[in-house]
Amino acid sequence: MGVSDNKGTWRGRAEVTDSRRLAPSGPAAGYSESNQARSYHRLGLKAPEVAGRVRPGQFLHVLCPPGDPRGHSPGRPLLRRPLSVHDADPQAGTVEMLFEVRGPGTAALAATLPGDVLDVVGPLGGGCFPVSGDDRPSGATAGRTPPEPRSLTAILVGGGVGLAPLLLLARVLGTARARVRVLAGVASRADLVLVEPFYALPGLSGLVVATEERTAGAEPGLVADLLARELSELPGLRGVDPGPVVVYACGPRPMLREVSRLARGAGVEAWVSVEERMACGVGACRGCAVRTTGRPPYRLVCRDGPVFAAGEIDWGGAEP
Amino acid sequence: MRPDLGVAFAGLRMKTPVMTASGTFGYGREYAGLVNLSAIGAIVVKGVSLEPWEGNRPPRIIETASGMLNSIGLENPGLERFLEADLPWLVSSGAPVIVNVVGRTPTEYREVARALDGAPGVAALEANISCPNVEEGGLAFGADPEAAYGLVAAMREATSLPLIVKLTPNVTDVAGLAKRVVDAGADAVSLINTLVGMAIDVESGRAVLARGTGGLSGPAVKPVALAMVYRVAAAVSVPVIGMGGIWTGRDAVEFLMAGASAVAVGTATFVDPSAPVRIAGEIAEFLARRGYGWVGDLVGVANPGFRAGRPSRLADEDPVRNNQGGTLDD
């Protein structure tokens, strides 16, 4: 069935518990068309209805302030913005989002203060990062038995702000006692703020960082290079059988394409979270189509994704 | 006294004058749980074609000032799948269902219309001759009054259901176009579909949408839509359904006053899934505040040349049943 209803989806008002800019230097938080420096923002929301059941890779569809759905004027953001869930605390009933300030909508979200209230729909996304066999869409493993998390080596590959949903994934995998390795790629030293939350995560088996611009403490180059090395070392990893290996990735499309190619070459299962502009977020408008190798060719990022089996995506046409 | 929102016109019976706009509400199921479907006046589903259509290459959408551009390309699972899965589910939800029909040729439109004629639960058909995002069909028929006439006449032969024709604003004489489709047998006209528009990514030097241009919707188009409804309601004798950027009850009242017997809400639903129900409530608040007993009393009051069809009160018709056999008792 391609169509499912959204009866499990919550829509309500979520109080902002935390709203802070992550970039350590540069101009004040905000968006300008000439500002080349990236600005990242972390937003915490009180949303127990979401925190208790959000799965890694899912997103919230957030109305940009002023929060009144009737409020609109020229230049003011109109549509909701999809934000992937960065972390969740079911006990506290809070969720965190980490996003890049890219335009007027995300700038308006970044301008919120604790105590403000946002209109939120979620969790959305029919395809999440699979942690157990139950999470895998039927047929996605093509006859293979999905590995038990306890025997699993999970390689998480994040590029830039694509690292955001991997934090919740790493936490859930760690709780399920998988062996979790994180490969993080960012452009420059200023973007290392995106990696910091992973240092605080207990029980990571490894965390390797690559920066395109040479930076102390990080390897020069692209995160895909880290993955290539990681995969080449797998078979004889200190003489120890790593057991089943699964790659999970989120980042720019060229990076995901390379991750997909490397994983296929190594015979390793891979899952990628992809991005498209979105209007409704619930599968009604068909705006966020992504081309796949299946029939019919288009699937929806909001309803079928945002996470897809890497082999399902038609990577052709991704060249600029 | 609670104002009466019910309207009957062109064989349609709606408990509120607010429907969904085709292409913005999927097949209803996508919004189940986020809005009470049975409280919506009528659900107009996404366009249905004879065979499945895969739609256009992405990117398909982009937000613009007070609006958005789309170039979906009428992606839909086709008639067979619609009849087997989508329609029965939606009919069981309790809202009157209006099926938007698309095709590449008059024959395809006619075949879909014929197949839907006997389908249980279909309250009306809406001929989509106004989509700007496909090579064949859509606007190819809707921008030429004679082609539109031929297409509507072909559908008219194939169905006894109420036939609504959805008009494009991308013409110089929308009233003349409306008259031709009424001559061909349309029971009502709906307008506007999206306005052709475009956005360019100046960094890459390329159009944002893969297809180059798309259709503009949202608050940005509302004044244009309102003027076209105003003109058409002064030109045709059948009821008019108004749409284009409606966000609030006040917006909807403007369309009713311009001469629409009902309105449709589209882009607003993406932002506020409850918009079709919220806006009906806001219309009721307006009626109560201004002392109107019935929403139909607003139709055409701001249009001195108004000559379009008017709705009648639901209560005036007995028994109170809609086409799927359900009782409208609210």
> B24 vs A280: CB contact, 8 Å cut-off?
yes
Distance CA A156, CA B185 (A): 61
Active site residue B175: no
Q: How far is B236 from chain A (nearest CA, A)?
A: 31
Distance CA B145, CA A197 (A): 62
**B178 found inside a domain:** yes
Taking only the tens of pLDDT, chain B with its 330 residues reads: 689 999 999 999 999 999 999 999 999 999 998 999 999 999 999 999 999 999 999 999 999 999 999 999 999 999 999 999 999 999 999 889 999 999 999 999 999 999 999 899 999 999 999 887 787 777 778 899 999 999 999 999 999 999 999 999 999 999 999 999 999 999 999 999 999 999 999 999 999 999 999 999 999 999 999 999 999 999 999 999 999 999 999 999 999 999 999 999 999 999 999 999 999 999 999 999 999 999 999 999 999 999 999 999 997 765 444 444 444 444
Number of domains in chain B: 1
B223 — contact with chain A (CB < 8 Å)?
Answer: no
> B270 vs A279: CB contact, 8 Å cut-off?
yes
From the candidates B131, B216, B235, B264, which is the catalytic residue? B131
pLDDT of the residue at B326: 42
User: Do A81 and A193 touch, CB atoms closer than 8 A?
Assistant: no
A60 — contact with chain B (CB < 8 Å)?
Answer: no
**B63 found inside a domain:** yes
**B207 found inside a domain:** yes
pLDDT of the residue at B137: 73
Distance CA A261, CA B19 (A): 47
Q: How far is B176 from chain A (nearest CA, A)?
A: 31
Q: Which domain holds residue B169?
A: 7-316
**B321 found inside a domain:** no
Distance CA B42, CA B233 (A): 21
Give the nearest chain A residue to B248 (CA atoms).
Answer: A70
- Name every chain A residue with its beta carbon within 8 A of the beta carbon of B54: 296-298
Instruction: Provide the edge-to-edge strand list for the sheet that holds B163-166.
Output: B18-20, B262-265, B240-243, B188-191, B163-166, B122-128, B97-101, B43-44
Give the nearest chain B residue to A80 (CA atoms).
Answer: B271
Alpha helical stretches, state H, A116-234: 164-175, 196-199, 223-233
> A287 vs B70: CB contact, 8 Å cut-off?
yes
- Name every chain A residue with its beta carbon within 8 A of the beta carbon of B33: 5-9
Q: Which of residues 76-135 of B touch A (CB under 8 A)?
A: 77, 85-86
**B227 found inside a domain:** yes
User: Do B72 and B133 touch, CB atoms closer than 8 A?
Assistant: yes
* CA angle at A136 for the pair A135 and A141, rounded to the nearest 5°: 155
Question: What single DSSP character describes residue B83?
Answer: I
- Residues in chain A where the model's pLDDT stays below 50: 1-3, 25-35, 67-69, 71-74, 143, 318-320
Q: Name the pTM for this structure.
A: 0.91
pLDDT of the residue at A29: 44
pLDDT of the residue at A27: 45
**B78 found inside a domain:** yes
CATH number at residue B22: 3.20.20.70
**B72 found inside a domain:** yes
Give the nearest chain A residue to B52 (CA atoms).
Answer: A296
pLDDT of the residue at A141: 52
Alpha carbons within 13 A on the beta-carbon side of B222: 25
pLDDT of the residue at B135: 74
B306 — contact with chain A (CB < 8 Å)?
Answer: no
**B11 found inside a domain:** yes
pLDDT of the residue at B70: 97
